[in-house]
Amino acid sequence: MTLRVLVVDDSAFARKVLRKVLSDAEGLEVVGTARDGLDALERVAELKPDVITLDLVMPSLDGTGFLRALSGMPDAPRVVVVSSAGTDSELAVAALQAGAVDMVHKPTALATDRLYELGAELVEKVRVAGRAVPRYANELEASVNAPPARPLPATSPKLLAVGTSTGGPQALTRLLSALPRDFPAPVVLALHIPAGYTEAVAKRLDSQSALEVVEASDGLELVPGRAVLARAGYHLKVARHGALNLARLDRHPLGTPHHPSVDVLFQSVAEVWGRDALGLVLTGMGDDGLKGARALRAAGGVVITEAESSCVVYGMPRAVAEAGLSNGSAPLDELVPLISRFV
């Protein structure tokens, strides 16, 4: 099946580059381009694309405004954000929370041939988006504004480790907004996202959650009521120093394409926390987290997975579940009661 793609960018040069790299890829057809959000809405109605590549900073109607308008459309196309860290990282995170499937980082905000460097990653993510289930802002806002969950019982100190990829910002928003302020375990999070964006992710999650949500720093204490998000470009590990539980950052590649890696985080948690560890695998492409889940189960810990019905991409949870490593599975909005059985 050929995926129909609409390229939306206010830069004529960027539209030219994106059209070229996508048109040259097998299975993709660029059916049109748009210079801003208003133009894009007209093109969507006319061309009915499967996937849209979306710039964020545009005149007339910007990328986040376009996503809000898109949320009211039946059978809306999936969206891949094309963003520049530093200039629009907060907008990119807002777009991911509002329903964009994934994002690609522009190597430069300038109109230069360096834009061609994003080609392979963009093609891959457009193909993934073509198979993904979009979840847009109206659904997300209903979840964020829902009443807080009932407090979970405080039992023995434990740790919740969460791993996610495609669709992760939306999933983390809904999960963390449902956890109560007195959640009795530290939380550590690994999300696949380009470097330069995790500080903005942490800030937005912190504003939408009863927990304190912070970007990881080396030596940061892990305590109940705090969720620590792995810094993109680094592996997040956990360590104990006397009575303190600490976050550790590691840039060693360790044979994984992902930095941070869910496998690396889960394996570290298994070594330090053992049977007091709970691993949660949310929506995402691929199988990062499978080795880590196996290590958690071998150490006596518990692993749960997001059900296919609420996943944007049912890849990472599927790999864990099909390996027989999941102690339980539930849709995203039912995961907190499931977590409460083990924490």
The pLDDT score that the predictor gives to residue 251 is 84
Distance of CA 32 to the CA centre of its chain: 28
User: What sign does the dihedral 306-142-153-165 (CA atoms) show?
Assistant: positive
Active site residue 165: yes
> In a 3-state reduction of DSSP, which class is residue 261?
coil
DSSP code string of 96-112:
HHTT--EEEE-S-SSSS
Question: Cα–Cα distance between 342 and 334 in angstroms, integer?
Answer: 14
Q: Where are the beta strands (DSSP E) in 57-134?
A: 78-83, 102-105
Mean pLDDT of 271-279: 96
Contact 179, 210 (CB under 8 A): yes
Question: Cα–Cα distance between 137 and 302 in angstroms, integer?
Answer: 32
* H or E stretch at 65: helix 63-70
Q: 167: closest CA among 261, 262, 284, 77?
A: 284
Enter the tokens of residue 234: 């680094």
Active site residue 192: yes
**What residue ranges of the chain are covered by domains with CATH 3.40.50.2300?**
3-131
**What residue ranges of the chain are covered by domains with CATH 3.40.50.180?**
159-340
* H or E stretch at 206: helix 198-208
Q: 106: closest CA among 96, 98, 118?
A: 118
> In a 3-state reduction of DSSP, which class is residue 109?
coil
CATH among 3.40.50.180, 3.40.30.10, 3.60.150.10, 3.30.420.40 for 159-340: 3.40.50.180
148 pLDDT above the threshold of 80: no
Catalytic residue among 105, 192, 235, 259: 192
Give residue 134's pLDDT band: very low, low, confident or very high (50, 70, 90). Answer: confident
Give residue 152's pLDDT band: very low, low, confident or very high (50, 70, 90). Answer: very low
Mean pLDDT (the chain, rounded):
90
Q: What is the pLDDT of residues 10-67, one digit of tens each?
A: 999 999 999 999 999 999 999 999 999 999 999 999 999 999 999 998 888 888 889 9
Q: What is the pLDDT of residues 190-226, one digit of tens each?
A: 999 988 899 999 999 999 999 999 999 999 999 999 9
Q: What percent of the chain is predicted at pLDDT more than 90?
A: 74
Catalytic residue among 288, 310, 326, 340: 288
Cα separation of the two ends of the chain: 45
Q: What is the pLDDT of residues 59-115, one digit of tens each?
A: 888 888 899 888 878 789 999 999 876 667 888 999 998 889 999 988 877 778 888
Active site residue 288: yes
140 pLDDT above the threshold of 70: no
CATH among 3.90.45.10, 3.40.50.2300, 3.40.50.300, 3.40.50.720 for 3-131: 3.40.50.2300
Catalytic residue among 83, 165, 310, 326: 165
DSSP code string of 322-337:
HTT--SEEE-GGGHHH
Q: What is the pLDDT of residues 285-338, one digit of tens each?
A: 999 999 999 999 999 999 999 999 999 999 999 999 999 999 999 999 999 999
Question: Cα–Cα distance between 89 and 199 in angstroms, integer?
Answer: 9
